[in-house]
Structure 1
Amino acid sequence: MSERVVPAAARQRRRPTKQGVVLSQELIVETALRLIEEHGSDALSVRRLGRALGADPSSIYRYFRHTDDLLLAIADELIGRTMRPWRPTGEWLADLRELGLRVHAGALAQPRAAALSAYRVTGRAYEIQAVEAILGVLRRAGFPDPEAVRIYHAFVDQALAFGALDSANAALPRAAREAEAQVWRTVYSRLPADTHPNIAATAPHLVATMRGSSYPAAQELLLTAAAARLREIRAAHGS
């Protein structure tokens, strides 16, 4: 997609296309997400989107100026899928734990799209809602503003990074994933203790745990550190 700006007021198409499709930003984003999961990043082309939508490819410019504009909308929709069902309970650790796990699960549900968009900053509605909500959880818990921002940054980057990492793995062909998972059993568990004592001692645990994501454990370490920091802050202020 090349840059081709259409005034915002002229972007919406009220009448169906020749194929009977009434276009909208939501429909285009949903279709793009489906195509990305089927075909990868090459799906983000005007021609392929138009064909999938049954619409003239040029009509997509009524809603998105170029490919990157559409990619940011896709990234924001993935955030929205995390945020829409989430409701804070007032228990800050539980709220952050659930939200982080939702972010990670959302990435695995759309692995190719997540790998394309996890590192982007959209500045759009759902991202703004997420930033506001997470900072609110931390500030209400009692973190001073600099600490709230520091923990927010680490929390979000961790969830997105693990989401992208595990999504990239999930996007591999199944045979490749299975072959890599078996390396822990066929290679590491057979290394001799005289040359690799640490691997040999922990081999059963490596085989048992390395097939899955370490995100839940990493998230717990981060939240435990955040809780310890909050206790330090409260002790310093005598509360």
Structure 2
Amino acid sequence: MPKQVVPEGARRRRRPTRQGTVLSEELIVRTALRLLREHGGAGLTARRLGLALGADASTLYRYFTGMDDLTRAIGDELMGRALDGWTATGEWRADLRALGLAVHSSYLAHPQAAVLTASRVTGRPREIAVDETILGILRGTGLPDGTAVLIYHAFIDQSLAFAALDAGALALTDEARTGDEGVWATTYARLPAASHPHIAATARLLTDRMPHSAYPAVLEMLLEHTAAQVAGLNRSQH
């Protein structure tokens, strides 16, 4: 049975930790992000987190019901950082593009955390704020709610899916990542045209393109689809 989280007003420690800091949910999340960066997902434990904070591991349960609750808080933090660095212009296509790239970049800045959290739905305030913003942009185009929700679904899942995929590559060792990227030149580019005519014809392009994320290109495809939906709606109203 999960432990009961201490109410917000009772969470603050009366005394600083051994390191002279007063714990907060924000500090715990920031420390967890550092541990993930340094040790990977397997290195994020209550014991190691307590040591890093200069507090007993059980102190975590004054703020979170457990490590899974902390994981969702980490995901919420990454989502919130995307919104922190984004400014609305009032032009829906530019705003969606910038927000999608901001979400993708926020997760890639912490690849180990992204691998751990990109598939989670946190239900926390910062994630909710991002979702409200995306839906507001889409509904602001005049699209029917059903269409807006469908595009929202595609937009956020696409952003997080590529964040997880690209973060997975960044989370590899440099040697492993370089080896994977090199396969396009060492294997694909050497396939004979007689047996693999299409790969052989595009080998140079594949070698140049495949080590990079496809997210910006796929994002543009979704935006183009959305623009077509908006244009069709405008035509039907005139």
The answer to whether 1:219 aligns with 2:230 is no
Describe the SS at the equivalent of 1:192. Answer: coil
Alpha-carbon distance change, 12 to 195 in structure 1, aligned in 2, over 3 angstroms: same
CA distance change for structure 1 residues 18 and 208 in 2, over 3 Å: closer, same or farther? closer
Identity %: 56
Instruction: Give SS of 2:234's match.
Output: helix
Q: 1:1-239 alignment to 2 at 5 Å?
A: 3-8=2-7, 9-238=9-238
Q: What are the superposed Cα offsets for residues 144-189 of structure 1, whole Å, 9 maximum, x if unpaired?
A: 1111111000000000000000000100000111111111111111
CA distance in 2, matches of 1:19, 1:190: 57
CA contact (8 A) 1:21 1:55 kept: no
How far apart, in 1, do the equivalents of 2:40 and 2:2 lie?
22
Structure 1 gap segments, 5+ residues each: none
1:17 to partner: Cα distance = 2.3
Q: CA deviation at 1:7?
A: 3.1
Cα pair distance change 1:6/1:210, threshold 3 Å: closer
SS at match of 1:22: coil
2: distance between equivalents of 1:174 and 1:79?
A: 26
AA aligned opposite 1:136: G
Letter in 1 for 2:135: L
Q: Deviations over 1:6-54 (max 9, x none)?
A: 4314322242124422111111000001001111122332111110111
Q: In the aligned structure 2, how far is the partner of 1:14 from the partner of 1:100?
A: 41
**TM-score, length of structure 1 as denominator length:** 0.95
Contact kept? 2:6, 2:63, Cα under 8 Å: no
RMSD (Å) for aligned C-alpha atoms: 1.3
Give the distance between the partners of 1:27 and 1:80, measured in 2 at CA.
15
Aligned residue type for 1:213: S
Mapped contact 2:12–2:22 kept (Cα < 8 A)? no
- Tell me the CA shift for residue 59 of structure 1: 1.5
> Does the 8 A contact of 1:11 with 1:61 survive in 2?
no
Contact 2:89–2:95 (CA under 8 A) maintained in structure 1: yes
Runs of 4+ deviating beyond 6 Å:
none
